[in-house]
Every structure is written in structure tokens, then in C-alpha cells.
Structure 1
Amino acid sequence: MSSTDFATLVRDDRVLTPMYTDEAIFEEEMDRIFKNTWVWVAHASDVPTGNTFKTSWVGREPVIVTRDKQGKIHTLLNRCRHRAASVCEKRKGKASVFVCPYHGWSYDVDGKLRKVPHISGYGEGLDTDDYGLVSLRTEEYNGMIFATFKDDIQPLVEFLGSAKKWIDLFMKQGGGYGVKTLGEHRFRFPGNWKIQLENTTDAYHFPIVHKTFLDSLDPEAENVFQVLAHGGWVEDLGNGHSVMVMIPDLIDLEDNLDAPIPQRFEELAKELAAEGMPDDQVRRVVRAVGGSGFNLNLFPNVACSMAFFRVLRPIEVDETEIMHVAIGMDGGPDAANRMRLRLHEHFQGPMGFGTPDDAEGWERVQRGARAGQDLWVMVNRGVDAPEGVAAPGHNAGDVSAETGMRAAYQMWKRMMTA
């Protein structure tokens, strides 16, 4: 048990530098946070039918997310109960059984131990009911699947709280169809997981870090992405969650469908119309293709970020894995999903204009944090919310405020001192 007084590390408007660099703090986070709250593990479309699976992580612990033949979703520790070998190494797929490659113990997709080779060698000392894969509590909200080690935790819908509204709005980018994952790419950066957590609701950096992205756009699109100029805001949603609204006109993708179709989507609209899609549906699909006008941060590890999921996985105190998941329309037109992928590649992709610049910024924060361990990291921008930004009873600041970071760190403090 760490002797650190975690409460002293977080003030209302700043956090102490060892939050990024101290290995003992990191190890405590893995236990006190990632093993004691709801952690995002998959989207429902990753396990679309019975006997499908996806491997994932809860903190640093590998898991398998499965859907059984009855449609129930399970999250199972990816560890054979015999000698600890992983029982699944594929990212995703279809399987009716998981077989440990070391000694052949086999498990059903709900985790039950099915068969033990040469079981007579155990005499009467092995009850197969006692040796299934360890199953975590698993719940789903609007396609978002979360798991937890804590059996007596509050229900997922209570944990999400005010964030549920924003999840529902985000899923409207199915354009009248369902939402599905289209693909993902992963990379690591040499920095602490909380550095990336901060970034998702940080509009202050956008015109500086992402100038090359803005320069790559046509004038109409460039104006849309001038995120500091459209009256947006950042809001604390409780339990460490927050939302950053960058483009208020794109909060609800089913509003304002009569607006002119943006230049960059004119060819797509023509293609959909040529396929026989009625005009109202064309407009709904085209508006959804560009994504939502906000980033939703769900503590501790996932963001619904404009048009994709961003998932973080802590590796070490100074190493974090990021997974960017492109999403599209389940059953929607191929042309629309192709456009979704091209837009994803333009910013989030490994050769895109956004992600490499973000990652360099995160790395520089970690590098700089090695200097001055007694210095504070400031998250005080927008502490005094301007008039008209926050509705009564809401903790919000303008779009450049660091409200989301303060929300996450207050949740961190609450969990680390519980």
C-alpha cells in the first residue's frame, strides 16, 4: 500500500507533476481506479452474433468479450485456470469454444469449463464448476459495453448519469441505421495515460497543434473547424465524465436537415441520389457522415470523439496505448461508409494530419514533466465561467476551458482516496 497522500496531489485547479511520473502512484491507479469502476471494453457491433468474440483489456488485465448463443454478453479474463496461459490471441472472430494451447483445457464462450484432457489424473479433486474462466460484471448502454471487477458497483446507467444524453446524440451518426465499428489502429506513446485523457476535451490546443490539418481543408470546412469561434463549451457531467461542444450546430444530427449540403459532401449526395435514395434520407445520411460536433470523455478510458471511439490503455507510468476505432453505418450505403473511412484517415489515421501532432504533444508533456517534480500542472483555464455559458446547475466553461480536466481529476481524487 502506498504511503502517498493522494489528496495533496489534486487541487481544484491544478495537479502535482508526480501524477505523470511516479511509478507507485501508477500502480495504485491500476487497483483503485481500473479495478474499481466501469471500464469500456467493446462496442456491441464487435460481437454481433452468437459465438463471436473480441479481445480487450480492463486496465492492464487481458479479457475476452463474448456473445453467447442466447445473445448474452460476457467479459472473461483471458487466462486458463490451469497454468495461466492465455486462451485466445486473435483480436476478434467467431468461436464456439476456447482451447488453451498449453494443456488443452477448453471453455465455452460463457466461460464454463467444458473439458479437461485426462481428467482422471486429478482423482476426485477437480470440480469443473469451480474452474471456469473468471467472469466480470458486464453491462451495455446504447451499444457501449463496459466491464468491472467490482460486483457491488452502482449500475452502469447510474455511473454514466448525464453522459447518457450525449451517448445517445453521438449514436445518431448512424444516419438512421445502426452504428458499427469499421476498423481500428493502435499505437503507443511514451507518456502517462492521464495526458491523453486531458486532450479529448482540450480545444485550446486545436488551432495551434492542428494548423496543418486546418490548412488541408477547403475554406468552408476550415471555417467549421475553427472550434474557438462558434460559441462552444465544456461541461462537467459528473463521475469524471465531460463533454466539449466544438460545433454547436452539429450537436443533434437530426436537426436542420434542410441546410445546404457542405461542398465536401456534394459528390456523396449525388451518388446516394443516383442510387435511388430519397432526398430526405440523403440529407440525413450526409449530415451524419461528417460526425457529431462534440467530444464526450467517459472516465477513465474511452471517448466518443466527433466521429470515432478513442480508447486508452495504461501500460506503464510513462507508456500508454491508444486505439482509434472508426465507426460507420450498420446496413448503411457503402459510399457513406467509404467517406467515413476517408475522413477518419484524414485526421485520426496513422498518416493523418491530427493524430501524429497530438502524439508529439503528449510525448513532450511527459518529457517536460521530468523537470521540476515539485511544480504544479495547471488546469485552471476557465475556472470563472463566462456569463451565458453555463445553464443553472451546470458546471461549464467556454470551449477553451479546462473544465473537463478538472472533472476527471476530481473523480481521480475521489477514487484514489476512497
Structure 2
Amino acid sequence: MSESSYQTVDASALYQRAQSDRVAPSLYYDPAVFETELERIFYKTWIWVAHESELPNPGDFRTTMIGRQPVIVVRDKSGAVNVLQNRCRHRGATVCEQHKGNAKGFTCPYHSWTYGLDGALRALPYGDGYEGVIDKTELPLASLRVGIYQGLIFASFNQEIEPLEDFLGGAKPWIDLFMKQGAGYPIKANGEHRFRFNGNWKIQLENTTDLYHFPVVHKSWMKSIDDETAAAITSFMTSDQAFCRSLGNGHSLAVLVPELVDLDRDDGAPIPERFAGLAATLAQKHTPDEVRRIVRSLMGVGFNLNLFPNLALSMAFFRVLRPISANETEIRHVALAMDGGPEEANRVRLRIHEHFQGPFGFGSPDDAEAWERVQRGSHAGPDLPILVNRGLNREHTAPNGEKTAHATDETGMREAYAQWRTMMEQA
């Protein structure tokens, strides 16, 4: 059966397959569910597409995908950011195949229809064949609605969607805290790597606020670091201060190092021995307070923030997911640096990123192996539910509706599936 022949699912049956504390394994592999997810989630809500640091100058662009649809994220001459469908209005060819770059406009390689940075159709060859046939002003590259918060660029095919800040809602204060890791400098994207795993996108979505798995799956990483760092990172397992929280609209939070939630706060702890050499180098050009602030930010903030459906702000990097099929997902790990900050510290940040998230790091292969085993295992016992009920016995709800439980609990997953169900049940 071809992808185009799949039928979307009956919304009335979804509640039975995605309940508040369990989901059916078929949600990981049913192609009809996947097609409906593209239409009702990825083509209807806000999707993260880029960071403003990737487009510093007019004409800067990057190409990306929303579901199966290619788009161009570009800064025009006025400084505004546009997100354009990467499809010529003539015969449908993509007008840009470069991953990123700088351009004065975009020209289709098939018949040379040329578009401006704002998407307007500027020129077409041998125009006499179109006199009285078309009006160029009516054939721009189709544009998406754009929203930007704290440098995070989101886009939506839905022109009637709620404002981005309303959608982010309770996640906004945590995004603000995440961006403090620039240590007084703006943060910037500092390279990325991408990979695919043989599993459903929701398996990775669940993972960002799943701290329960960390000391099990990432034993190899913990053996590769010093005892002081390993103890600090895994202290959340028994900490009363570490927690997981739902933030509404599918967003969720997992706090694992409470003392690093707000990096502007200095608890007076000694500089870790592993960073003593860097601190000494920084001290040649920076004040003691600045040195402490930069070192405190090297491993990022003390939490993971999940923004439904495709972006995680995970301690010190962006993790971006893209659904390929019911059984395949693309992941991008975007490293972060201090824009204008000391290069010595940015190098250390990048080495830390590479050690865990990089293509030869310890964390990504272990995570991907676990995700793929979930996908394979979901086919065994299709009537046995996937459980997301950990912590229901100790979860409490605040007056604003946010639910909080222990850091190892599955509150974040339940929030994501509540939003998933809400969107999937809307025709």
C-alpha cells in the first residue's frame, strides 16, 4: 500500500488508544495514525524551524522540513524573518537545495522563475507567453505564519493559529531561564549533526523528560566522566528538589540539577576541578564574578524543556525531531555557544556537547538503541499497553493547572499525550 492510499483514523477511536495513563503500541507503527499526525499536528500547530543566530544578515537562509514539506527560513532586506514553502509556483520544483547560505533571491532551476527574499515573484523568462494569463503579484512563494520568542523561530501552515506566546504559555519563563546560559552573551547555534533512528517520533518526544532511564541507559557515559560530575548529574534520582512538571499545550519540564536552574544565581560552590585550568585562563581577561558565571554555564541549565511537538531545550543544546514515517525519525542535535564570548570557553562547551550528544559521543547511540528497541518491542503483544503512569500516586496539581511530580515520573509524557489527543480529535 502506498503512503498516498493511507486513510486517516477515526477520531472517535483515539481516546481508547491514548488514555491518560497508557497508550496503545499501535500509535508507534500504525501508518494511518502517522498520516493523521502530519495533517492535524505538524501542519496545524507551531513548529520550530531555526534559531535567529543562524540568520544574522539580510539574505541569510537555511532550508528545513516540516513533516514532508520543504521550507526556506530567510531574513529579508528589512530584517524580517520569512518562512516560505520551497516550491516554485510554476511546476513545483524546489527553488533552493542548499542547506544554508546567503542569497539575493531564489531562482527555480527548471524555468528560471525568480523570487525575492519575501517570496514575491520578481521575474520569469519570455514573459510574453503569460501576458493576460497571470498576474505575478498573485503567485508568490507560499508563506507560513512566523512567530519568534527568545530567538526561537517557529512557523505554522495554519494562518489562523493562536499567537506563539499564547501557545508557549507556561513554558516561556523556562525558555527565558534556558537562554541565560550565554553568561551575559547572546547564545548562538554552533553547528549540528543529524541522524535517523528506526522508531516513531513520539518515542523520542517521551524521552526528553524521561529522567527515569538516565542512570540505566547512560552507564557508559557516567563511567567516562569524573565522579564529581556523575554524582551531580544523577543526584535527581533521590533529590526532593528535582521534579517533572506539565506546562500546558503539550509542553513539559524535567529539573535534574535544581541549583543550576537560574544560572544568574551563584551558590558559592567551588569551581569544579575539571574546569580549574579554564578558569585560570579566563581570569586573565575577566573578573572573578565573570569567570564563575561562564564556568557555571558550561554544561547548560539544570533542566530539560520539551516544546510540543518537535523541539527540546535540553540542558545545553537543542534537540529537534522530524517524523519521516511511522517507523523512522530524524534527529538534529544543535550545539550552543556564547556569541562573542571567550573562545576557550566555547571550545570546552563544544567538547562537552560532543562527548554526550555528538556523532561519536556516548549518549546519542545509547538513546537511539533504546528507542529502536521500543519500536521493535511494540509489535509484541499489540494488546498490551505502553504505560505512562509512573508518579500518578504523588502528582499534584497547581491552581494554574500545571501538574508536578518527582523528576523520574512520567508527568511530561502524560502532558504530551493529552495535547496529542486534543489535536488528533480535531477534524
TM range (shorter): over 0.9
Aligned to 2:368: 359
In structure 2, the partner of 1:175 is: 183
The equivalent of 1:121 in structure 2 is 129
Asked if 1:40 corresponds to 2:48, the answer is: yes
Q: Secondary structure at the match of 2:291?
A: helix
Q: Distance in 1 between matches of 2:399 and 2:9?
A: 40
* Matched position secondary structure for 2:19: coil
Q: How far off is 1:30 after superposition?
A: 0.2
* CA offset digits 1:155-195 (Å, max 9, x no partner): 00000001000000000000100010000000000100000
The answer to whether the Cα contact below 8 Å between 1:257 and 1:283 also exists between their aligned partners in 2 is no
- Counterpart in the other structure of 1:266: 276
SS of match in other structure, 2:63: strand
Amino acid at match of 1:47: L
Q: Scaled by the length of structure 2, what TM-score is found?
A: 0.95
SS at match of 2:278: helix
- Report Cα offsets for 1:45-85 as digits up to 9, x if no partner: 01111111111122221100011111101000011111111
Structure 1 stretches of 4+ with a deviation exceeding 6 A read none
Structure 2 Cα separation of the partners of residues 371 and 301 of structure 1: 27
What pairs up with 1:195-344 in 2 under 5 angstroms? Answer: 195-226=203-234, 227-231=236-240, 232-256=242-266, 258-274=268-284, 276-344=285-353
In 1, Cα distance between equivalents of 2:84 and 2:206: 30
- How far the C-alpha of 1:357 sits from its partner, in A, is 0.2
Question: What percent of counterpart residues are identical?
Answer: 55
Structure 1 position 8, deviation (Å): 1.6
Q: Is the contact between residue 230 and residue 248 of structure 1 (CA under 8 Å) also seen in structure 2?
A: no
Shift of 1:350: 1.2
Pairwise mapping of residues 70-85 of structure 1 onto structure 2 (< 5 A)? 70-85=78-93
Query: How far is the alpha carbon of 1:257 from its aligned partner?
Result: 5.6
Give me the CA root mean square deviation. Answer: 1.2
Check whether the contact 2:86–2:141 (CA below 8 A) recurs between aligned residues: yes
Instruction: Look up the match of 2:69.
Output: 61
Partner residue of 2:193 out of 162, 185, 195? 185
Pair 33,198 (structure 1): closer, same or farther in 2 beyond 3 Å: same
| Count of equivalent residues | 415
Residue 3 of structure 1 deviates from its aligned partner by 4.4
1:113–1:132 CA contact under 8 A, matched in 2: yes
- Using the TM superposition, give the Cα deviation of residue 258 of structure 1 relative to its aligned residue in structure 2, in angstroms: 3.1
Give the secondary structure class of the aligned counterpart of 2:77.
coil
Specify the code of the residue in structure 1 equivalent to 2:347.
R
What is the alpha-carbon distance in structure 2 between the residues aligned to residue 2 and residue 302 of structure 1?
25
Deviation at residue 266 of structure 1 after TM alignment:
1.2
| Kept after mapping to 2: 8 A contact 1:257/1:284 | no
Structure 1 alignment gaps of length 5 or more: none
Partners of 1:220 and 1:7 in 2: CA distance = 46
Identify the match of residue 170 of structure 2 among 162, 170, 186: 162
User: Is the partner of 2:334 in helix, strand or coil?
Assistant: strand
User: Retained in 1: the 8 A contact 2:47–2:154?
Assistant: yes
Number of the residue aligned with 1:133: 141
How many angstroms apart in 2 are the aligned matches of 1:116 and 1:223? 63
CA distance in 1 between counterparts of 2:29 and 2:180 reads: 39
Secondary structure in structure 2 of the residue aligned to 1:182: strand
1:194 is paired with a residue of what secondary structure? helix
Q: Distance in 2 between matches of 1:253 and 1:399?
A: 20
Select which of 120, 142, 147 maps to 1:112: 120
Once the two structures are superposed, what CA deviation does each residue of 1:250-276 show, in whole Å capped at 9, x if it has no partner? 1001101632111221111111112x2
Kept in 2: contact 1:257–1:287 (CA 8 A): no
Which amino acid is 1:266 matched to? A
Equivalent pair of 2:9/2:36 in contact (CA under 8 Å): no
Rounded to whole Å, the distance in 2 between the matches of 1:296 and 1:75 is: 24
Provide the secondary structure at the position in 1 that maps to 2:283.
Answer: helix
Q: What SS is found at the alignment partner of 1:322?
A: strand
Q: Is the 8 A contact 1:230 1:247 kept in 2?
A: no
Structure-2 residue corresponding to 1:95: 103
Distance change >3 Å, CA 381–CA 252, structure 1 → 2: same
Shift of 1:294: 0.3
Give the letter aligned to residue 2 of structure 1.
T
Question: 2-side partners of 1:403 and 1:37: how far apart?
Answer: 22
SS at match of 2:61: strand
State the AA in 1 paired with 2:412.
Answer: G
Offset from partner CA, 1:68-112 (integer Å, 9 cap, x none): 111101000011111111111111111111111111111111111
Rounded to whole Å, the distance in 1 between the matches of 2:104 and 2:274 is: 45
> 2-side partners of 1:14 and 1:23: how far apart?
20
Quick one: distance in 1 between partners of 2:8 and 2:295? 53
Partner of 1:350: 359
Deviation, structure 1 residue 390: 6.6
Within 1, Cα distance between the matches of 2:109 and 2:379? 43
Q: Which one-letter code corresponds to 2:141 in the other structure? A: L
* TM-score, normalised with respect to structure 1: 0.97
Given that 2:47 and 2:155 are in contact with CA atoms closer than 8 Å, whether structure 1 keeps it comes out as yes
Is the 1:58–1:147 contact (alpha carbons within 8 Å) kept by the matching residues of 2?
no
Distance 1:229 1:175 in 2: 29
Deviation at 1:391, TM superposition (A): 5.6
In 2, Cα distance between the equivalents of 1:390 and 1:300? 23
1:2 equivalent among 5, 8, 22: 8
The answer (yes or no) to whether the contact 2:9–2:32 under 8 Å persists in 1 is no
2:3 corresponds to: none
- Decide which of 376, 385, 388 is 2:385's aligned counterpart: 376
Measure, in 2, the Cα distance between the counterparts of 1:395 and 1:366: 28
Deviation of 1:375 after TM superposition, in Å, equals: 1.8
Equivalent residue for 2:4?
A: none
Cα offset, 1:125, TM superposition: 0.4
